[in-house]
Structure 1
């Protein structure tokens, strides 16, 4: 019996998350506590409830500058190994409580060096938090180390990704403003990663259009596209049947995963509403679409809530949510055997049980 999934039922589904920023998912109470411990004095308020409301207001202001200002505070309290390990642990706990069984969480080590922390200690602290949180809460969390596209440390960060790939770093990413900072500026890092048989995703097609996506794929060799929402610009949907341009057809034909973050895209102006988000058309056309959170604090969201919004906007059922989830697991930077074990041993059985029971509590 395939009833319309409710939010409570979706929370019980075994979900997979590929695009989530560690510094965008802190608990407000943790930010306040870490600020007290570290002597950080720049928070707009020391009240956790008011601080959470402030993050929401700033993130929904429609101003990219105000949105980015929020990260100065989360990064500001993450300048020592204890804070990084704690936040990584809490991230694993929060995702597990939302029903996520596998996640890849990204962060930029270079943003946490303000007080002199070596990059290696930053990576090791985050991996420690993910590992302990995973063991305690029954979730597997891999780290994606991110280089900032407007800086010049991408090769250094790429080397970190390779050095720690057997300890829990599953891949590499670049993030930051797309306009004026094309991925080809970091071509040496991507060529190095390819020579080392390493995985990487690239933020592309979020705030900038098709050239960013084209460069990420055809010049840099990205395994996945972070967001990729502007691929819609290469699809003519004005007639009876949508017509794909060459780049959109290539992305679909090659099964290049799109790490889509609907609520975040509304905040940054990539879509006017969930119902108008390109994810609907891209799902209909069979692109390798995945559903993600981006920044859970700034967007006031969870993976279950993202899926519930899609259910409301597009009338999706359990089969659709399972399709998104299997897409994500297929696209994860995890070994083939491990991906299959999660798909066949955890995800499909979990969704089958929910489809049978609908939204009723399971015994």
Structure 2
């Protein structure tokens, strides 16, 4: 396979093109280019530029466009060494480069040009050393967003994409959080429009040079209240050296009773179909989990991430029909899978039966106390009597 040299044309004209890239292109007679819409292409008239603009017109999605461009490049490379030019830097927000590098059969060399990132940071006056993320607006996964980092979202090229991005961000950021719509980032000459997040898609202009910058929420405790990592930090602080005197004295043993109490209150909220109190009581139960993890973290035993990792792995392991290739058609088959998984995890049958008995007692106690008005003492006596009769 011949070599494919991917060259970055930068974001602007020849004035900002690295000299090494300029000399390399001037020695070439023929250059394949993703699109002719670039100032460098217009300035270097002596080169035969062969574009893939027609591929954009033939497909209805960018993914299909990029895959087709790479397919054609691979066919061309069977015949000769080729030069392929892209806007910006080949390794920044350039899907065709990513696809080329993923093919182990190809001989790919990267020659960088200037990326838009430096200019964007200058335009919005943000130091990337403070932490930032860059995500594709057409493939945005809000679960990947850390609101304590600055966020750059690329490929926000029309109002439809902008609206989809806005909806995702509103689940994380407040509606009035200011964001910057940056078109043609070039420092002081950038077209930058600061707006409240909820207004970011209003009168949105069509441009393939538009990115969105979302400033971080770092330091804004109230706004970060929905962030799980921030919650664990709060609990670590409460049990830490300078934390709350009561929280600092708690142990795994002293907290056991509260898990029962909070579960009892959650049952009541569920029975009353009280959504607000369900949120509150589920939060109280989550508090117990994170509280225990904070105590363990202080004692260098484990932390909340290990708890989350453990249960996530268990859910994946016990659902091979969802996360694997197992085929399950009945609940009975599913129970068999679960029992096999429990056996492999070391859960003995006796212990499982004990857990079920305790759960039945707890639910019966709650039902007698709440639904029938039976006192706790009377309910316990009734449950004990029923258990004696079944022996």
Higher relative contact order (CA 8 A, sep 6+): 1
Whose radius of gyration is greater, 1 or 2? 2
TM over 0.5: no
TM-score where L is the length of structure 2: 0.21
TM-score scaled by length of structure 1 = 0.22
